[in-house]
Chain A
Amino acid sequence: MADAYDYDAIVVGSGMSGGWAAKELTERGLRTLVLEAGGPVDPRNDYVEHVQPWQMHYRGLGDRKRMQSEYPIQSRCYACDEIGHKFFVKDAENPYTTPADAPFNWLRGRQVGGRSIMWGRQVYRWSDLDFEANAKDGHGCDWPIRYRDVAPWYEYVERFIGVSGAREGLSQLPDGVFLPPMQMTAVEADARPRIMKAFGGERVLTIGRVGILTQNHNGRLACHYCGPCEKGCVTHSYFSSLAATLPAARATGRLTLLPNSVVAEVLYDPKRARARGVRVIDAITRHETVYTSRIVFLCASTIESVRLLLNSKNAQFPDGLANSSGTLGRFVMDHNFGSGAGGSHPGFRDKRTTGNRPNGIYIARFRNVKTQHPDFLRGYGFQGWSGRSGWDRGQWTKGYGADFKQSLIDDLGGWYFGGTGFGESLPREENRVTLDPEVRDKWGISAARIEVRWTDNERAMEKDMAKTMAEMLEAAGCKDVREDHGMNPPGHCIHEMGGARMSRTATEGVLNRWNQAWDVKNLFVTDGSCMASTACQNPSITYMALTARAAAHAVAAMKRNEV
């Protein structure tokens, strides 16, 4: 039978999820084709993390005119800057639409490695507080899985990618298998017990848990603390699919990876009620090819996978492939991100940092863990940063002349300390992705129309975030504490999730507990579109764990001839 197919498995996308699908499927014996819409990335030539400001024409301040013409949306992301823009899509080639009153920042990278090249690297396990949230308050459908289903896969992923962090024993933020934690700054280490004491032990400040190596691990080198991971890493010290999962897949001899391959459609065989392959447009020549396989994994990213399923509608599925439930494209979410507080710290003038830590501190969720907050459901965590202001302050502080210059060289300036909230948003049927009836991308494929709005729950949470961060900074001894009410539009957190959610029944969602389409047994969707809620933790490790878990299930099911 195998000869009837070009490949055993096709994986659409080569990023965070696609890399894991490639690794697991090839290591379990499947001849696997990975299709990546973007071009190849060669770390030796393409990574730019060591480029210094003086080597840039605008010294890191950016080519604003080019950003406005080519990257007007993508450049809203901090990482899409003077030299980092190469890892982001050109907006004109990749259009999407929104209602005028519902802006959505869809921030994307199309290249081998996807957004794992410039991800934020923060890695946090979910807990049952998260997997049970929908069932408890009735928003969204109940997750068909619980922490115990994912926990061994979290560990499996952590052991492979390498996660540095500190164990805290928190039920809402389960510990993982950690490499040694990065150091806190003097201010952060001092703040931890002060905040603990001020809030009855409820608010725990810990070092960020990151997919960055603090010691050599699985053939990759320990971090050398240059700083800007989002511009690449020649030592492969932060996890990316390019650095770790794709090489592992290649080592099996069963991987075929085709860059510049835009998947336009998942092809469906109505007689067998199975996906039979994909139709691919060459991104450069526009030549069309069909590839067939026994199973198909969609790992194209949340909105791209939803868009692909909607574009794969056929006679049996007129509203989008695998959409008998009518939920495809619905319940799209993002983290409610951007509010917090900042301040200066008058102490520790005799202490400094050395090296550039590509990580900050994390404050675990404390709202709605034990007691119910009167104003909102669910919770939020904080990522925070501290450091000394350095010569930067010379740009806005008074002074001139020899002493001024020398002070900027010698005196590191005061400490700043602040944090930004990442809040769980509620799953809502109205928040959805559809196809724009008119707009098409560079390859003639219907563009996504995204309609996602915050609600009163997110707005109430946002207010609380700024207040609680400010009071924690006060407790830590900060001065000039200022609340930041910087609620960003949906999408800006780049944690977009949902649209093809997992569910307990075929009528409630698109995917079953194994990320397998209810309607199409050999079709799996394992990127962020599978998520039935957002929790407040950064989601990448959950995508990775669910992908590895789904791949193991898929191969076992193939061996039992179930798919």
Chain B
Amino acid sequence: MERRDLLRAFASATALTLLPHKTLEAWSRVAANARSADGLSNAHMGLVRAIADTIIPRTDTPSATDVRVHGFVEVIVTEQWADTERAAFLAGLDAIDANALADARKPFMDLDPDARGKVIEALEDGSRDADPSKTYWRLKGLVVHGYFTSESIMKDVLMVQVMPGRFEGAAPVTIKKRPSKTLTPPSDDAMRHAEHAHG
């Protein structure tokens, strides 16, 4: 297979499942050369997209990639971050995939949803100070931020009002469609206040 064919195939996430596994080994060699100095390679982009949609899948509301969270991740990683941060992040992505290969015998992108979930759980249980979990949390932060600051989610899902016209300090919380199952009150909330400090 020609390199440009691989690139074309990887340009679309839906194409990934059609690729025979052995070509992925070939891809990993090609990708090492294909990676540009200041952008995400298609392989890294594919992994970012797969993780993003595992964290935020499509339901009755859009998935992470439906609102192009991967594009936001690329902007931050390639334009905002310093070279050393970017290099560490890309190495971290490789470590995530290496982990998936070791545990599930397949690259992350090739795993079915259940297996992807197990990889995510392992990453979330690992130490946040060391890779691959460190890079995972950095990516997760960007995915969640990118998703909830996207135009369609702010407008159509959160229904954010730019000029609310009033402030209520103790308004009732309206009944939810579905109860929350996965979350307990986060102790890290304590950290939030510092970001609001002003002079």
Q: Which residues of B contact A337 (CB under 8 A)?
A: 199
In the complex, what distance in Å separates the CA atom of A383 from the CA atom of B198? 9
In the complex, what distance in Å separates the CA atom of A415 from the CA atom of B186? 9
Q: Which residues of A contact B165 (CB under 8 A)?
A: 224-225, 355
Is A494's CB under 8 angstroms from B80's CB? no
Does B144 sit at the interface, judged by CB under 8 A?
yes
Q: Which residues of A contact B20 (CB under 8 A)?
A: none
A344/B168 contact (C-beta < 8 A), A61-B80, A396-B141, A399-B182 known: no
Does B39 sit at the interface, judged by CB under 8 A?
no
Smallest Cβ distance from B10 to chain A, in angstroms?
23
Type the 1/0 row for B24-46, where 1 means its CB is closer than 8 Å to any CB of A.
Answer: 00000000000000000000000
Q: Which of A77, A343, A386, A405 contacts B56 (CB 8 A)?
A: A405
Type the 1/0 row for B162-198, where 1 means its CB is closer than 8 Å to any CB of A.
Answer: 1111111111110011111111011111111111111
Does B158 sit at the interface, judged by CB under 8 A?
yes
Q: Which residues of A contact B170 (CB under 8 A)?
A: 183-186, 189, 348, 351, 353
In the complex, what distance in Å separates the CA atom of A413 from the CA atom of B56? 18
What is the chain A residue whose CB lies nearest that of B54?
A400
Is B168's CB under 8 angstroms from A406's CB? no
Is B180's CB under 8 angstroms from A410's CB? yes
Is A406's CB under 8 angstroms from B187's CB? no
In the complex, what distance in Å separates the CA atom of A344 from the CA atom of B183? 15
Is A393's CB under 8 angstroms from B188's CB? yes
Q: Which of A58, A350, A401, A495 contacts B54 (CB 8 A)?
A: A401
Q: Which residues of A contact B162 (CB under 8 A)?
A: 50, 52, 226
Q: Which residues of B contact A416 (CB under 8 A)?
A: 189-190, 192-193
Does B84 sit at the interface, judged by CB under 8 A?
no
In the complex, the number of residue pairs spanning A and B with C-beta atoms less than 8 Å apart equals 242
- Most central of B54, B141, B167 by chain A CB within 10 Å: B167
Q: Which residues of A contact B19 (CB under 8 A)?
A: none
Among listed A27-35, A62-70, A149-157, A293-301, interface-contacting one: A62-70
What is the chain A residue whose CB lies nearest that of B181?
A403
In the complex, what distance in Å separates the CA atom of A409 from the CA atom of B162? 18
Tell me the A332-374 residues at the B interface (CB within 8 Å). 335, 337-338, 340, 342-344, 346, 348-357, 360
Is A410's CB under 8 angstroms from B199's CB? no
Q: Which residues of A contact B79 (CB under 8 A)?
A: 57-58, 65
Q: Which residues of A contact B172 (CB under 8 A)?
A: 350-352
Q: Which residues of A contact B161 (CB under 8 A)?
A: 355
In the complex, what distance in Å separates the CA atom of A418 from the CA atom of B192? 8
Does B145 sit at the interface, judged by CB under 8 A?
yes
Is A351's CB under 8 angstroms from B151's CB? no
What is the chain A residue whose CB lies nearest that of B193?
A418
A344/B185 contact (C-beta < 8 A), A53-B149, A58-B75, A401-B54 known: yes
- Most central of B166, B172, B185, B198 by chain A CB within 10 Å: B198
Among listed A302-310, A436-444, A478-486, A502-510, interface-contacting one: A478-486
In the complex, what distance in Å separates the CA atom of A64 from the CA atom of B84? 14
Is A495's CB under 8 angstroms from B199's CB? yes
Does B140 sit at the interface, judged by CB under 8 A?
yes
Does B111 sit at the interface, judged by CB under 8 A?
no
What is the chain B residue whose CB lies nearest that of A393?
B186
Is B198's CB under 8 angstroms from A342's CB? no
The count of chain B contact residues (Cβ–Cβ below 8 Å) is 67
In the complex, what distance in Å separates the CA atom of A50 from the CA atom of B144? 22
A412/B173 contact (C-beta < 8 A), A354-B164, A354-B166, A355-B166 known: yes
Does A195 sit at the interface, judged by CB under 8 A?
no
Is B124's CB under 8 angstroms from A398's CB? yes
Is B197's CB under 8 angstroms from A61's CB? no
Q: Which residues of B contact A410 (CB under 8 A)?
A: 176-180
Q: Which residues of B contact A65 (CB under 8 A)?
A: 79-80, 82
Is B185's CB under 8 angstroms from A385's CB? no
Q: Which residues of A contact B179 (CB under 8 A)?
A: 410
Q: Which of B168, B181, B187 contacts A480 (CB 8 A)?
A: B187
Is B154's CB under 8 angstroms from A344's CB? no
Does A492 sit at the interface, judged by CB under 8 A?
yes
Is A389's CB under 8 angstroms from B189's CB? yes
Smallest Cβ distance from B115 to chain A, in angstroms?
13
Does B101 sit at the interface, judged by CB under 8 A?
no
- Most central of B75, B120, B182 by chain A CB within 10 Å: B182
Is A394's CB under 8 angstroms from B190's CB? no
Is B180's CB under 8 angstroms from A411's CB? yes
Does A524 sit at the interface, judged by CB under 8 A?
no
Does B157 sit at the interface, judged by CB under 8 A?
yes
A354/B167 contact (C-beta < 8 A), A395-B144, A395-B145 known: yes
Q: Which residues of A contact B186 (CB under 8 A)?
A: 344, 389, 393, 396-397, 413-414
Q: Which residues of B contact A464 (CB under 8 A)?
A: none
Q: Which residues of B contact A58 (CB under 8 A)?
A: 75-76, 79-80
Smallest Cβ distance from A52 to chain B, in angstroms?
6
Q: Which residues of A contact B76 (CB under 8 A)?
A: 58, 61
Does A314 sit at the interface, judged by CB under 8 A?
no
Q: Which of A185, A188, A412, A419 contacts B193 (CB 8 A)?
A: A419
Type the 1/0 row for B54-98, where 1 means its CB is closer than 8 Å to any CB of A.
Answer: 111101010000000000100110011110000000000000000
Q: Which of B150, B173, B199 contacts A349 (CB 8 A)?
A: B173
In the complex, what distance in Å separates the CA atom of A342 from the CA atom of B124? 25
Is A352's CB under 8 angstroms from B54's CB? no
Q: Which residues of B contact A353 (CB under 8 A)?
A: 167-171
What is the chain B residue whose CB lies nearest that of A350?
B173
Is B176's CB under 8 angstroms from A404's CB? no
Q: Which residues of B contact A392 (CB under 8 A)?
A: 144, 192
In the complex, what distance in Å separates the CA atom of A411 from the CA atom of B54? 20
Does A112 sit at the interface, judged by CB under 8 A?
no
What is the chain A residue whose CB lies nearest that of B168?
A354
Is A185's CB under 8 angstroms from B54's CB? no
Q: A52-B154, A225-B163 are in contact. List 20 more A-B contacts (CB 8 A).
A: A58-B75, A64-B81, A183-B167, A184-B169, A337-B199, A340-B193, A343-B189, A351-B172, A354-B164, A355-B161, A391-B148, A391-B158, A394-B140, A399-B183, A411-B176, A411-B183, A416-B189, A416-B190, A480-B190, A495-B199
Closest 3 interchain pairs by CB? A418-B193, A414-B185, A53-B149
